[in-house]
């Protein structure tokens, strides 16, 4: 039974919708079905509390911009809070980033009310580094999880433009195993863009020096930006975001 105001998408239906809403060239990403496409919450109390806080904010309406992702996105409320206030608060933005989330947690949250009753102009999506980093998912499974997310957004928010970001680089050097894994994922994600509803942007180079090493002055822990990193992110994303928002 479907409860009022909530849509439940089975993994099979999500995969079917992916074929309808995204370019045919991306269908290869759906060859493998794993946990990345099966909606599941995190078990921790703080996670449930944050979800309830997000629902409360969304019920207020007046949402033009969504930021969807994991701890890197949640960090707009921490290390990046002053940058957020300058760039996004006046744009009626809502932060849907949750620490440690993988694609299946994002799917669960979006199904459980976090995009109900709103019509944002733009949704910025970046997720997947915890699929590769904490569970070592094969790239095709992470890509399928991201694809399920953007398909769900297209189905429930058909007027919203999606700005899909490449997963940020991690690890000290260009040869880091997780760096290479995320690069493989990004190579596939860029094929999702259609230039009308879904746009792709890879900002990874702003965090790297000329030898491909992560800049510790922007990512001290080799994964999460500090305030200067969030400033670099905002500055680099601004031209594309401004165009999509119609500012």
3-state SS track over 70-123:
CHHHHHHHCCCHHHHHHHCHHHCEEEEECCCCCHHHHHHHHHHHHCCCCCCCEE
pLDDT at 12 (0 to 100): 42
Whole-number mean pLDDT of the chain? Answer: 90
The domain spans of the chain are 11-245
Given pLDDT bands bounded at 50, 70 and 90, which one contains residue 134? confident
pLDDT at 32 (0 to 100): 52
Distance separating alpha carbons of residues 90 and 40, to the nearest angstrom: 32
CA–centroid distance for 183 within its chain: 16
Which class is domain 11-245?
alpha beta
Which residues is 68 bridged to in the sheet?
A: 96, 125
169, 204 Cβ separation under 8 angstroms = yes
Q: Give 43's contacts (C-beta < 8 A, 6+ positions apart).
A: none
Given pLDDT bands bounded at 50, 70 and 90, which one contains residue 33? low
Give mean pLDDT, residues 241-246.
98
pLDDT of 19 over the 80 cut: no
pLDDT tens track for 153-202:
999 999 999 999 999 999 999 999 999 999 999 999 999 999 999 999 99
pLDDT at 236 (0 to 100): 98
* More confident site: 12 or 129: 129
Residues forming the active site: 71, 221, 224
pLDDT at 13 (0 to 100): 52
Per DSSP, the three-state class of 61 is coil
Distance separating alpha carbons of residues 187 and 194, to the nearest angstrom: 15
Give mean pLDDT, residues 125-131.
98
* More confident site: 22 or 113: 113
pLDDT of 23 over the 60 cut: no
Given pLDDT bands bounded at 50, 70 and 90, which one contains residue 21? very low
Distance separating alpha carbons of residues 154 and 125, to the nearest angstrom: 12
Give mean pLDDT, residues 33-55.
96
pLDDT at 31 (0 to 100): 46
């Amino acid at each position: 039974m479907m409860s009022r105001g909530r849509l439940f998408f089975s993994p099979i239906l999500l995969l079917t919708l992916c074929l309808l809403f995204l370019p045919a060239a991306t269908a290869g990403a759906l060859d493998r079905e794993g946990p990345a496409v099966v909606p599941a919450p995190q078990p921790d109390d703080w996670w449930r509390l944050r979800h309830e806080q997000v629902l409360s904010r969304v019920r207020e309406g007046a949402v033009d911009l969504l930021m969807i992702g994991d701890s890197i996105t949640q960090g707009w409320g921490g290390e990046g809070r002053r940058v957020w206030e300058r760039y996004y608060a006046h744009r009626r933005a809502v932060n849907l980033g949750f620490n440690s989330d993988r694609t299946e947690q994002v799917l669960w949250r979006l199904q459980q009310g976090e995009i109900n009753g709103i019509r944002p102009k733009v949704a910025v999506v970046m997720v997947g580094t915890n699929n590769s980093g904490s569970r070592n998912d094969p790239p095709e499974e992470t890509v399928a999880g991201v694809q399920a997310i953007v398909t769900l957004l297209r189905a429930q928010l058909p007027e919203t433009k999606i700005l899909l970001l490449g997963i940020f680089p991690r690890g000290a050097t260009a040869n880091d195993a997780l760096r290479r894994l995320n690069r493989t994922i990004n190579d596939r994600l860029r094929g999702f863009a259609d230039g009308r509803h879904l746009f792709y942007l890879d900002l990874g180079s702003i965090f790297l020096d000329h030898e491909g090493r992560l800049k510790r002055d922007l990512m001290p822990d080799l994964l999460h930006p500090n305030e200067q990193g969030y400033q670099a992110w905002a500055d680099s994303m601004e031209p594309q975001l401004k165009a999509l928002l119609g500012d």
